[in-house]
């Protein structure tokens, strides 16, 4: 479970809303997410985005980014596996860190033989957050 404290005003003022995000995974991989949860917007719809950051305390590496649509009923959540099949430029094996900057997902990642950085435009298709085209990552 991920506990999120959300401030409506986006400046940490005013009342906060507490949300418990029960993480589910299509691949049945339930990692310990040990980084901050960020907000990505598609128009006016807000999504929480989180990942498991690889570090010396993690026993299993993860190459997945998890998303959760805020204020959705029923719950709408999923994952993006950062590999070629999901339109990511390479088959990554671990996320070193990830962040939302300028409304894009920036990822420092490892592969079996190297490491790299990519920034990807996220898209919502049929109520699912995804990387729509490999050209959306540079």
For residue range 103-123, what is the model confidence (pLDDT) as tens digits? Answer: 899 999 999 999 999 999 999
**Domain range holding 63?**
2-136
Backbone dihedral region for residue 136 (phi beyond 0: left; psi -120 to 50: alpha; all else: beta): alpha
> What region does 123 belong to: left with phi over 0, alpha with psi -120 to 50, or beta?
beta
Count of domains for the chain:
1
Q: CA–CA separation, 25 vs 7, rounded Å?
A: 26
pLDDT tens, position by position, 24-80: 666 555 555 556 678 899 998 999 898 877 666 666 678 889 899 988 888 899 999
Question: If we measure between CA atoms, which residue out of 59, 11, 68, 8 comes closest to residue 34?
Answer: 59
Quickly list H helices, the chain. none
How many angstroms separate the Cα of 108 from the Cα of each of 37, 87, 111? 16, 16, 10
Q: Return the pLDDT at 42.
A: 92
Find the mean pLDDT for residues 83-107: 92
pLDDT, mean of residues 76-86 = 93
Q: Is the pLDDT of residue 16 over 70?
A: yes
Give pTM, 2 decimals.
0.82
Question: What is the per-residue pLDDT for 38?
Answer: 82
Question: Which residue, among 61, 17, 66, 58, has the nearest Cα to 37 in the 3D structure?
Answer: 66
Min mean pLDDT across 14-18, 58-62, 124-128, 131-135 is at 58-62
């Amino acid at each position: 479970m991920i506990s999120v404290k959300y401030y409506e005003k986006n400046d940490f003022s005013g009342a906060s809303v507490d949300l418990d995000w029960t993480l589910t995974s299509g691949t049945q991989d339930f990692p310990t997410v040990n980084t901050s949860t960020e907000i990505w917007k598609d128009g006016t719809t807000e999504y929480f985005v989180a990942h498991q950051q690889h570090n010396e305390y993690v026993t299993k590496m993860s190459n997945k980014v998890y998303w959760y649509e805020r204020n959705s009923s029923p719950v709408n959540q999923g994952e993006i596996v950062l590999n070629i099949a999901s339109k990511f430029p390479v088959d990554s094996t671990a996320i070193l860190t990830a962040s939302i900057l300028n409304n894009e997902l920036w990822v420092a990642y490892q592969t079996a033989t190297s490491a790299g950085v990519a920034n990807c435009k996220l898209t919502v298709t049929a109520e699912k957050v995804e990387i729509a085209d490999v050209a959306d990552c540079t």
